[in-house]
Amino acid sequence: MTDTLIRGRLLSFKRAPQSLTDSDSYLYEHDGGLLVNADGKITAVGDYARVKAAAPEDVVEIDHRPHLILPGFIDTHVHFPQMQVIASYAANLLEWLNTYTFPEECRFVESEHATRIATHFYDEFLRHGTTTAVAYCSVHKTSADAFFAEAIKRNMCMVGGKVMMDRNAPQGLLDTPEMGYDETRAVIEQWHGKGRCHVAITPRFAITSTPEQMSATQALAQEFPDLFIQTHLSENREEIRYTCELYPEAKDYTDIYARYGLLGNKTLLGHAIHLSEREMDVLSETGSIAVHCPTSNLFIGSGLFPLRPLTRREKPVRIAVATDIGGGSSYSMLRTMDEAYKIQQILGERLNPLESFYMMTRGNAEALSMETDIGTLDLGSVSDLVILDAASTPAMKLRMETISTLPEELFLLQTMGDDRAVVETYVAGKAMKNTL
Ligand code: GUN
Ligand code: ZN
């Protein structure tokens, strides 16, 4: 197998940008080259002529000029069995779950259905330039099997978990503390570390787990301390009230997860919108990650994620960004960051486009502690890439005529871009989008 030299405008972040003029925070090569070896790893990066000079003679060249080459987008919170839930008309979270989401997830007991949706799931993510996602499967082991089997077929870095839930849902969607424990263990044994797959311990949220099941998740977390843990936290006021009623001994919603040892630097907490200062302190002290799901929070009407109050405090909380399909309304991380921007506008705290593109790539990789593998174009990283065209529609092309800087171009991509702006998506050096 020969090496590949991918040519185009390279953009990769070194750290979180502090302002629109913080050009030290990223690498930008106007005529850049990325050398990828047979294993899909980046072995040289920089000025095209320099990389070309050091490349083997038989290198295969792919020219993406004038388009941008970035690390593939990372989505840190999605629900694989909710592809047919998107665009469901509900007044609030609990109605949305009970009316549409839970009945739909019951269908994933059938492995044929789970396999069919898994194919669509990966197709859709690749179409939108997302190369890694952290997903909830359904309660059924069949859904996790379908999810990971498809990840392996496509050689994608994926995190997923069989949901654990043993109350407050239809019978077809319940396990028991023992079943949840045993089947999660079986999923770990079967899939964790295979290909690029990672298993997450996944209690859905405190409303759908009994204290006995929470103890079972604690046992798993102790036995497998390196695994991710994912759940939902403080998304909606009514949810918070009911949750605290179910766990009266806890100080607040966050304290429920703390009591069961579920917080830590591999814990991803979806939504985390309505937190007290005490809860933010606990998240900060434990290194837990609050996952911002802008399109979902707006679509379900849950609230405005307090990004700056979480990150700009004495004890900052780590954050990540995500689509939350199917509460979210778009698979696109560009659309997601457009909504995040609008939320920040309403809150009176700007979100600059460099920061947005950092968040979708390196920022989310850092939240997963995976930044040496994904989320950058650094040497040794896997070449999961997205190729972007900021003139992909007639309206964008027209606007591009008046754009002269990189931040302006990124802002246009974020404001008007979607899957049409994704020219190609690479997984470990292999072009995937145009083979769909
Ligand atoms: N809380 C518990 N389950 C879910 C879910 O599937 N989606 C959202 N948005 N919130 C949840
Ligand atoms: Zn969710």
pLDDT digits (tens, 9 = 90+) for 69-88: 999 999 999 999 999 999 99
What is the CATH code of the structural domain delimited by 4-71+377-435? Answer: 2.30.40.10
Please check whether residue 186 is in contact with residue 162, taking contact to mean a CB–CB distance below 8 angstroms.
no
Residue with the nearest Cα to atom 7 of ligand 1? 327
pTM: predicted TM-score of the whole model, two decimal places = 0.98
pLDDT of residue 435: 84
Q: Which residue, judged by its Cα, is nearest atom 9 of ligand 1?
A: 327
- How far is ligand 2, taken at its centre, from the CA of residue 270, in Å? 6
Pocket test for ligand 1, best of 85, 104, 204 (most atoms within 8 A of CB): 204
- pLDDT (tens digit per residue) in 95-122: 999 999 999 999 999 999 999 999 999 9
The tokens of 413 are what? Answer: 């991509």
Q: Sorting pLDDT into bands at 50, 70 and 90, what band is 434?
A: confident
Amino acid (one-letter) located at 94: L
Report how far residue 81's alpha carbon sits from residue 163's, in angstroms, rounded to the nearest whole number: 11
Q: Is the peptide bond before 177 cis (omega within 30 degrees of 0)?
A: no
Q: Rounded CA gap, 340 and 386, in Å?
A: 20
Give the DSSP letter of residue 315. S
List, for residues 5-53, the tens digit of each pLDDT value.
Answer: 999 999 999 999 999 999 999 999 999 999 999 999 999 999 999 999 9
As annotated, the residues of the chain forming the CATH 3.20.20.140 domain(s) are 73-331
Mutate to test the pocket of ligand 1, among 92, 168, 235, 297 (most ligand atoms within 8 A of CB): 235
The DSSP string of 39-80 is TSBEEEEEEHHHHHHHS-TTPEEEEEEEEEEEEPEEEEEEEG
Give me the architecture of the 73-331 domain, per CATH. Answer: Alpha-Beta Barrel (3.20)
Q: Closest ligand to 268 CA?
A: 2
Does the structure show a pLDDT above 90 at 301? yes
Q: For residue 426, how far is its CA from the centre of ligand 1 (angstroms)?
A: 30
| Strand (E) or helix (H) holding 290 | strand 289-292
Helix (H, G, I), strand (E, B) or coil at 416: helix
CB 256 within 8 A of CB 247: yes
pLDDT in tens, 196-222: 999 999 999 999 999 999 999 999 999
Q: Cα separation of 160 and 409, whole Å?
A: 34
| Structure tokens that stand for 315 in this block | 């004890």
**303-329 pLDDT tens trace:** 999 999 999 999 999 999 999 999 999
What is the C-alpha to C-alpha distance for residues 393 and 408, in angstroms, rounded to an integer?
17
Angle, CA of 102, 338 and 85, to the nearest 5°: 15
C-alpha span between 224 and 204 (Å, rounded) = 18
Report the C-alpha gap between 148 and 121 in whole angstroms.
Answer: 12
Q: CA–CA separation, 90 vs 300, rounded Å?
A: 7
Q: Which residue, by CA, sits nearest to atom 8 of ligand 1?
A: 327
Which residue has the least CA distance to atom 1 on ligand 1?
232
Q: How far is the CA of 247 from the centre of ligand 1 (A)?
A: 19
Residue 436's pLDDT band, with cuts at 50, 70 and 90, is confident
Q: Are 157 and 133 in contact (CB under 8 A)?
A: no
Q: Tens digits of per-residue pLDDT, 218-254?
A: 999 999 999 999 999 999 999 999 999 999 999 999 9
Rounded to 10°, the helix 141-153/177-191 angle is: 10
List C-alpha distances in Å: 16 to 28, 61, 329, 403.
15, 31, 27, 24
Cα 277 to chain centroid distance, Å, stands at 26
The contacts of residue 237 (CB under 8 Å, 6+ apart) are 274, 303
- Residue 27's closest CA among 406, 380, 368, 321? 406
- pLDDT above 80: residue 1: no
Q: Which atom of ligand 1 is nearest to the CA of 136?
A: 6
- Work out the widest C-alpha separation in the chain, in whole angstroms: 69
Residue type, 221: A
- Report the separation in Å between the CA atom of 347 and the middle of ligand 2, taken as the mean of its atom positions: 23
Closest ligand by atom to 236 CA: 1
- Whole-angstrom CA distances from 135 to 81, 98, 169, 351 are 9, 20, 20, 26
What pLDDT does residue 186 have? 98
Q: Which atom of ligand 1 is nearest to the CA of 205?
A: 2
Task: Give the C-alpha separation, 209 to 207, whole Å.
Answer: 6
Q: How far is the CA of 293 from the centre of ligand 2 (A)?
A: 8
Q: What is the pLDDT of residues 318-366, one digit of tens each?
A: 999 999 999 999 999 999 999 999 999 999 999 999 999 999 999 999 9
CB-based contacts of 358: which residues, under 8 Å, 6+ apart?
13, 15, 16, 17, 25, 26
User: Nearest to residue 1, comparing CAs of 431, 429, 351, 313?
Assistant: 429
- In this structure, are residues 198 and 192 in contact, taking their beta carbons and an 8 Å threshold? yes
pLDDT tens profile 154-185: 999 999 999 999 999 999 999 999 999 999 99
Q: Which helix (H) or strand (E) holds 148?
A: helix 141-153
DSSP character at residue 388:
E
Residues that place a CB less than 5 A from ion ligand 2: 270, 324
Distance separating alpha carbons of residues 98 and 208, to the nearest angstrom: 12
Q: How far is the CA of 4 from the centre of ligand 2 (A)?
A: 38
Q: CATH 2.30.40.10 in the chain, residues?
A: 4-71+377-435
* Nearest ligand 1 atom, CA 232: 1
In terms of phi and psi (left: phi > 0; alpha: psi -120 to 50; beta: otherwise), the region of 272 is left
List residues near ligand 1 (CB under 6 A): 79, 93, 97, 101, 204-205, 232, 235, 296, 324, 327
